A and B are shown apart, each in its own frame.
Chain A
Amino acid sequence: MVPTQPVGTAIPAELAAPAQCAVAPALEELWRACEAEACGLTRDEFEQIVLRIGMAQNFGQAADLAAETTTAQQTAFFATLRMADLVLARACASGSERAWERFIALYREPLLRAGIAITGNESLGRELADGLYAELYGLTVRDGERRCPLDSYSGRGSLMGWLRTTLAQRHVDRHRRTHREQPLDETGDCPAPAAESAAQPDERGLPLLAGTVREALEREGPEEKFLLASYYLDGRKLHEIAAVLGVHEATVSRKLKKVTAAVRKQIVRGLERRGMRRREAEEALATDPRDLTAAEHGFGAADREHLRLKELLQSSQSCPFKEQAGQGKSE
């Protein structure tokens, strides 16, 4: 059963005027090229969708320049969008029968393969893909309005990539919800698990190293911290990090080496500044940063406080992404 209620079709009134006067010929050409009519989208619906996406992305310009974009810039931005995928996704979101047939013909098997690749298990992958199908196809009503995840697809990347990322999101969220769950019969013989709360850094009991490490990490840039977290915390390989960042593997290795040396140097300096001898400071760095436990090496042995680099890195996020994005756009 295909949902028939259109989603996200409400177009602000201010979008109509510029679309008709400025980029109307370009939109007309895009509408014909992407065969939106075959998917059940009218030209007006197509223009509204495209203009909404353009306004949300500031037509690829900075936030303060969004109101001053020219017709050429808007046309160039529209040309960068994957119109065919966008039309198909929006047509499916609006409940077009033909669009869903096409969607299933095109993406059912790839979506199943992606689910298996993400989970590493065929049954789990199939289950994950079917769950996403249900979510895409079903009825999720929020605030009295049906919400379809396909409505969030903006056409910047491929629809298949969006589906893979959505599958990964679902898989990660489910894993994070359930990975600590254990059957009761398996926990009987095990010793009492380490209290996760004990790993939380206490500001009053933080050893000397905690403040030093935090200080050293805050000096580094976002990409350096991403490298440290991906390599040392997540255990990603160099080629995986390089593929995500779009650089060569050697570049990642070189940057990692550089940032590690810089962090070590900053930590040693910070420890020396706090009254520690250089030899003691260097001995404190002899452990793997992923398993950095200050209590085991003479720092705050009395309180046995564990210091984990992961928590230091994870706690570096001070504000939500939305606020960060807002700050970035305003800059």
Chain B
Amino acid sequence: MNPMTQPDLHPDADTLNAFVEHVLPDAERARIVAHMAGCGRCRDIVFLARAAAEPEMAPSPARPEPRPGWFSKAFAKWRVALIPAAALASVGAIVLWVQMRPARMEMAKAVPQSVPPASEMASAAMEEAQKAAPAISNDRLVAAAPAGAKATAAARIPGMERKKAAAPALGAVEMDQLAATKEMAVTPEQRRATSAIHLDARSAALARYAPPPEPISPPATLKFTPPQAAPQAQAPQPADAALSAGGKKPATVEAFPSPALVPSPAPPNILAVHGELAPPAAGGPAQVAVQPQPVNGVAMVRLGARAKLPSGLRTVSAAALLNRLVVVDSAGSVFLSQDGGKQWEAVPAQWSGKAVAVQAPKGVHPLILSAGQSQPIDSTAAFGQPAKTAGDEENANAVPSPPPPAGAAAARAPDKPTVMTKAPPPVPALFFKLVTDRHEVWVSADGKLWREQ
């Protein structure tokens, strides 16, 4: 059967083309389909014509539409739910922030977990005391112990827990005093002492997130001197039972090596505080006053470098000494902050020229203050020399001044535990140094009053 010779048997090219292009009326299309159901030739023609037309009907390959990936499809599918999800996430983030902020501050107030429990320290101290048969006075023993840490724990725990924590915070006191402490309610002095911890959040953050300070050598090795008579201390003391609160070794004192107490430098990111022994109440235990002391000088310096000064200028030099931060701005003005950079006060220029740099000695570690003691313990005191006693200074909140002469602590009561240095290492002087553009060096202990060196 030749379609060319018998053209009436098959639809012509015009009709087949109209079928391929879908422009035929329905009736004529049905006839074509009925014909093609039994005509392989016309099916072949139609399929070939359609296949030849597809490359030209296909879009230009020069501009292919980007095919969305699975993530785009999924995103397009769930994008309706994106808005409430984002809102929910925002609310959740706010709630978390609100909840976490006071918790962080609370954590900052508390002693880090690396601080050893008072019981271990006290028991270790007592063991040492028993070995050496000393009669360690309450206040000195507490001064040697990380009383600040214990007091901090006590300040965090309310109610009875606070009492339990306060008892070990008192250190290795005598047994009867300890029993009395367990029985008695918290005295106002204790509250005052415990509530003396008032680290601000910024200082806490500094202590938490500051880089580890450079390793420093202990400026002094403290020892317990053998007491003259210590029958009370030799008595069996239920230190483990009474001082069971806490859990770890102190941060500032790693151990109590026999017979000496060697305060080690504070490990990084550990907040140490100054303990201050209040005069023991009548018949009551010794009280500990804790003074906040951000000791991480590197963080303080960095804080000063980023601080917004009252002059509005950038900081060119900063130095931290204990809780004081002195900075020099680009105009040569000097500012002092005693609250971690929150508030600044301008230091009047007592030098000629322009301040260009300020320095502070490195390696200044936290110092322990006795009750009523405004000056830190003289860590530079020679071995065997008694430290300064409480009440030597009038101002308990005074800024640590340059180390007094060694003889200043000679008036110490003989029954008090004596903190002595094992070997006097070189201790940096607690002075700020200010360098002017005329190459003059001025020093100051508090950052306010300067004198030329």
- Contacts A165-B45, A234-B47 given; indicate if A226 touches B27 (C-beta within 8 A): no
B23 contact set on A, CB distance < 8 A: 80, 156-157
Residues of B within 8 A of A171 (CB): 48
Q: B40, A234: Cβ atoms under 8 Å?
A: yes
Interface residues of B, dominant DSSP: helix
Where the two chains meet, the residues of B that have a C-beta atom closer than 8 Å to any C-beta of A are 2-4, 6, 8-14, 16-25, 27-28, 30-31, 33-41, 43-56
Q: Is the Cβ of B56 less than 8 Å from the Cβ of A110?
A: yes
Expressed in whole angstroms, the minimum distance between the Cβ of A276 and any Cβ of chain B is 27
User: Which A residues touch B25, using CB under 8 A?
Assistant: 60
User: What residues of A have a CB within 8 angstroms of the CB of B49 in the complex?
Assistant: 118, 161, 164-165, 167-168
Stretch of A67-75, A181-189, A203-211, A317-325 that contacts chain B? A317-325
CA distance A171 to B49 in the complex (A): 11
Contact A244 B27 (CB under 8 A): no
- Asked if A168 and B35 sit within 8 Å, CB to CB, the answer is no
Please state if B45 and A168 are interface contacts (CB–CB under 8 Å): yes
Instruction: Flag A207-231 by CB within 8 Å of B: 1 or 0 each.
Output: 0000000000000001101101110
Q: Is A243 an interface residue (CB 8 A)?
A: yes
Is A158 engaged at the interface, CB distance under 8 Å to the other chain? yes
Interface presence of A169 (CB below 8 A): yes
A182 vs B112: C-alpha distance when bound (angstroms): 97
Interchain CB contact under 8 A, B3 and A328: no
Cβ of A4 under 8 Å from chain B: no
- Are A161's CB and B17's CB within 8 A? yes
Residues of A that sit less than 8 Å from B by CB = 60, 62, 80, 110, 113-114, 117-118, 149, 152-154, 156-158, 160-162, 164-169, 171-173, 176, 222-223, 225-226, 228-230, 233-234, 236, 240, 243-246, 313-317, 320-322, 324-325, 328
Chain A residue with Cβ nearest B36: A226
- With A157-B21, A172-B44, A316-B37 given, name 6 new contacts (CB 8 A): A157-B14, A161-B20, A164-B17, A165-B16, A230-B43, A324-B35
CB distance from A295 to the nearest CB of B (A): 24
Separation of A117 and B33 alpha carbons in the complex (Å)? 24
Pair A169/B21 contact, Cβ less than 8 Å? no
Known contacts A113-B55, A161-B20, A164-B17, A172 near B9 by CB under 8 Å: no
B53 and A164: CB pair below 8 A? yes
A160–B50 Cα distance when bound, in Å, is 12
**Contacts A172-B44, A234-B47 given; does A315 touch B38 at CB 8 Å:** yes
Of the residues B4, B16, B37, B51, contact of A222 by C-beta under 8 Å: B37
Among A158, A172, A324, find the residue whose CB has the most chain B CB atoms closer than 10 A: A172
Closest chain B residue, CB of each to CB of A115 = B52
Contact at A165–B20, with CB atoms within 8 Å?
A: yes
- Residues in B whose Cβ lies below 8 Å from that of A240: 47, 50-51
Give CA–CA (A230, B33) in the complex, Å. Answer: 11
CB A290 to nearest CB in B, in angstroms, measures 13
User: Which residues of chain A are near B4, meaning CB under 8 Å?
Assistant: 173
B56 to chain A, nearest CB (A): 7
Q: A243-B54, A321-B31 are in contact. Are A229 and B18 (CB under 8 A)?
A: no
25 pairs across A/B with beta carbons < 8 Å? A62-B27, A114-B52, A114-B53, A117-B52, A156-B24, A157-B14, A161-B53, A162-B13, A164-B53, A165-B20, A167-B52, A168-B46, A169-B3, A222-B37, A226-B37, A228-B37, A229-B40, A233-B40, A234-B43, A316-B37, A317-B38, A320-B6, A321-B10, A321-B11, A325-B28
- What are the nearest 9 A-B pairs in CB distance? A317-B38, A222-B34, A225-B37, A322-B8, A168-B48, A226-B37, A117-B52, A165-B17, A157-B17
